[in-house]
A and B are shown apart, each in its own frame.
Chain A
């Protein structure tokens, strides 16, 4: 009887030490590309960015403004995307996926001439006409760059909620994006994608 009590006590103590696995509200969180069971962590993972990007683009496409009046593609410039989380993340993990999905819809095209993702290539190419090295017929002409119609910007936010018993914590992420139209200044698309992750308070999220 005494032995049984010891075993039960030990088992209870060990069960207490067991870490609670992290569960995510992202339906793709447990999908693995490695052939091994997927790792789900408190941090933001590839599957989170993929899921949020696809959902965000879907929400944009539901807008009555997703098709450009008069036809053609909207020219979009990337604005600022704020990382307001405790993690050092490159927001391009999110925006690149959104840009790919939006471009594939055939309704949007992104510009490299203006905005946060502006490349010097466009402006520098105009300088080449002043050099004797280059064939004038092959250099970029002035007045050919297409101005953006829209700007996409947003932010990734995080909140941490700890249970009253200090055993569990929940990390709440918000992927908040908006698109503003140049002429009217109106915000024509919005998307707000939440992802929640729940796990042991003993696991550090950062």
Chain B
């Protein structure tokens, strides 16, 4: 994978299309008009854990059809128990392609879940474009 990355960077520098191997095994060719993003594939901005909705095991996966998805779990913090406070957890997943270009389809939607005391929930958020490769998960607890 590292070798492919180096080859891709070299190819882009040479003005040629780069190749990336998806987990599904299919070869994807893309051309970057900017340098390849040096960010990790999944970035997380977690404001929910401190507020009592603990983010667990966030991961970027490739579905059998080649689409990318972010999976994570949210657990009601034990330190809040025996509270009866219901937490409104909100999250957004912003997707970019391998070049760092934003994927705008479905980008404006905030998603969410309700976390009752002691509850644990697992979420999957799927990218809405086949080019989506990198994700930023922003998660927070809404006050109202």
Contact = CB atoms under 8 A, between A and B. Distances in A.
Interface string B111-122: 110100000000
Contacts, number: 60
Contact of B126 (A30, A58, A104, A107): A58
Taking residues whose C-beta sits less than 8 angstroms from the other chain, chain B's interface range is 20 to 34
A92 interface: no
Interface string B56-96: 00000001111101000000000000000000101000000
B110 A31 contact: yes
A93 B114 CA distance: 27
Contacts of A101: 105-106, 128
Nearest to A28: B110
B67 A66 contact: yes
Contacts of A107: 130
Contacts of B38: none
Nearest to B69: A62
A27 B126 contact: no
Contacts of A28: 109-110
Provide the main secondary structure of the chain A interface: loop
Interface in A14-63: 25, 27-28, 30-31, 50-51, 54-55, 57-59, 61-63
Given A27-B111, A58-B128, A61-B126, A105 B105 contact: yes
Contact of B90 (A25, A27, A64): A27
A67 B110 contact: no
B128 A104 contact: yes
B144 A30 contact: yes
Nearest to A63: B65
Contacts of B23: none
A102 B131 CA distance: 14
25 contacts: A25-B114, A27-B88, A27-B110, A28-B109, A30-B144, A50-B109, A54-B106, A54-B109, A54-B128, A57-B106, A58-B106, A58-B126, A61-B65, A61-B128, A62-B67, A62-B124, A62-B126, A64-B63, A64-B64, A67-B65, A67-B66, A104-B105, A104-B128, A105-B130, A106-B129
Interface of A: 25, 27-28, 30-31, 50-51, 54-55, 57-59, 61-67, 101, 104-107
Interface of B: 63-67, 69, 88, 90, 104-106, 108-112, 114, 124-130, 144
Given A54-B109, A57-B128, A67-B130, 13 more contacts: A27-B90, A28-B110, A31-B110, A61-B65, A62-B126, A65-B65, A66-B67, A67-B65, A104-B128, A105-B105, A105-B129, A106-B130, A107-B130
